[in-house]
Amino acid sequence: MKELFQETLRQVEKIINENPDDLLLRICSLLKEKIYHYDWVGFYTLKQGELVLGPYVGKPTEHTRIKVGKGICGQVAEKGKTMVVQDVTTEDNYIACSLEIRSEIVVPVLKDGKFLAELDIDSHSPAPFSPDDIQFLENVCIILTPKIIQSLSDKSS
């Protein structure tokens, strides 16, 4: 499994170097394609104090805007720390997207400790996330940070 994460991280780097217009969407597709237990992969960015859904792959969701503090996504925006929920039925502050979702991991994108955006992954598998997932996804977010800053400033100009 570790090797798969390492190989996928190299592919993420390759896409970043190619710098396509649909960079974040390409990253979402790659992660969903390569890692079996990633069933919905998307980015939310913080805009005017609210999380706004960006590029994603997987079933369409009605949760295109989420308040800070609400759900797993909102808690990560508030605390700036990765959250792993191995069984979503045990989490009170959770926003259900579909009944198939059993578990979720949300990783923040931070700049100098300030929350900018997050990578949200939903899984149909129960308890699929290992410390390797956390390390891998935190690395993905770190190497994407300059691109996310760029995309946020492009859109606000």
**How far is residue 84's CA from residue 94's CA, in Å, rounded to a whole number?**
12
Site for ligand SME in 19-38 (CB under 6 A): none
What is the smallest separation between the CB atom of 18 and ligand SME, expressed in angstroms?
27
**Cβ atoms of 11 and 138 closer than 8 Å:** no
Q: Restricting to residues 46-75, which ones interact with ligand SME according to CB under 6 A?
A: 61, 63, 66, 71-74
CB of 67 to ligand SME, least distance (A): 10
Contacts of 15 (CB under 8 A, 6+ apart): 23, 26, 27, 30
Shortest distance in whole angstroms from residue 40 CB to ligand SME = 6
The contact pattern for ligand SME, residues 116-155, with x = CB under 6 A and - = no contact, is ----x-x---------------------------------
CA dihedral (7, 102, 90, 70) in degrees, to 10, reads: 80
Closest to 104 (Cα-Cα) out of 80, 79, 129: 129
Residues that bind ligand SME (CB under 6 A): 40, 61, 63, 66, 71-74, 94-95, 97, 104, 120, 122
